[in-house]
Chain A
Amino acid sequence: ETGVTQTPRHLVMGMTNKKSLKCEQHLGHNAMYWYKQSAKKPLELMFVYNFKEQTENNSVPSRFSPECPNSSHLFLHLHTLQPEDSALYLCASSQDVTGRETQYFGPGTRLLVL
């Protein structure tokens, strides 16, 4: 399945580093999402973009900064993270944001903050 790709697949970073996660969708969708998946916690929606415009920011700390240059690409810029930010970060896309459309997920980036 190559509909939604994410790079890198694994990332180890120190608390003072700056890194970026990249997501690309090849499905012609208009909406893209960032989720955080931590052990023993429900999947947490972080950001939603619809037609490149951010429509949702779920009280995410400012050390996470999203960027959506076009409908096919989504970035998550990371800086001065904390160890508790270690998690699997999942990107998803859907045709629109009606709530009835299937979201297609990428494989995720496994992030470890030391």
Chain B
Amino acid sequence: GDSVTQMEGPVTLSEEAFLTINCTYTATGYPSLFWYVQYPGEGLQLLLKATKADDKGSNKGFEATYRKETTSFHLEKGSVQVSDSAVYFCALGSNYGGSQGNLIFGKGTKLSVKP
């Protein structure tokens, strides 16, 4: 079945460091890909998404490119801030078969940014 694998955390960076959180997926069909972020004490909120191969999603300085050839959707940010400290979830939106319409989430990567 469809699945998402993202790098295990926690990740600790200094302010202004470069961030990469790896995400790879397995899917039948042509899924949409999402990154969600969960700040402490809150629900998940969409950070960015891409709906087809080679699309780049971007928001708040974060970027991720839908790479069909490597089945990846890695999250990057050139210069992180303390306020980026949160848990980041990669997710796949299936449009095929029994799980159509459902989001399949990775386990989440906790990011801590130190001043």
Q: Which residues of A contact B (CB under 8 A)?
A: 1, 4, 6, 31, 41-43, 45, 48, 50, 55-56, 90, 92, 96-108
**Do A100 and B43 have beta carbons less than 8 Å apart?**
no
A96–B103 Cα distance when bound, in Å, is: 12
Residue B44, interface by CB 8 Å: yes
**Do B106 and A99 have beta carbons less than 8 Å apart?**
no
**Do A99 and B43 have beta carbons less than 8 Å apart?**
no
Please tell me the number of chain B residues within 8 Å of chain A, measured between CB atoms.
24
Residue B88, interface by CB 8 Å: no
**Do B89 and A43 have beta carbons less than 8 Å apart?**
yes
Residue B105, interface by CB 8 Å: yes
> Which residues from chain B contact A45 at a C-beta distance below 8 Å?
102-103
- Given A31-B101, A97-B100, do A107 and B43 touch, yes or no (CB 8 Å)? yes
> Which residues from chain A contact B102 at a C-beta distance below 8 Å?
45, 48, 56, 97, 99
State which of A42, A55, A96, A108 has its C-beta within 8 Å of the C-beta of B43: A108
A-B contact pairs, 23 of them (CB 8 A): A4-B43, A6-B43, A48-B101, A56-B102, A90-B44, A92-B43, A96-B101, A97-B101, A97-B102, A98-B95, A99-B31, A99-B93, A99-B95, A99-B102, A100-B32, A100-B93, A101-B93, A103-B46, A103-B103, A107-B41, A107-B43, A108-B42, A108-B43
> Which residues from chain A contact B42 at a C-beta distance below 8 Å?
107-108
B window 82-106: CB within 8 A of A = 89, 93-95, 100-103, 105-106
> Which residues from chain A contact B43 at a C-beta distance below 8 Å?
4, 6, 90, 92, 105-108
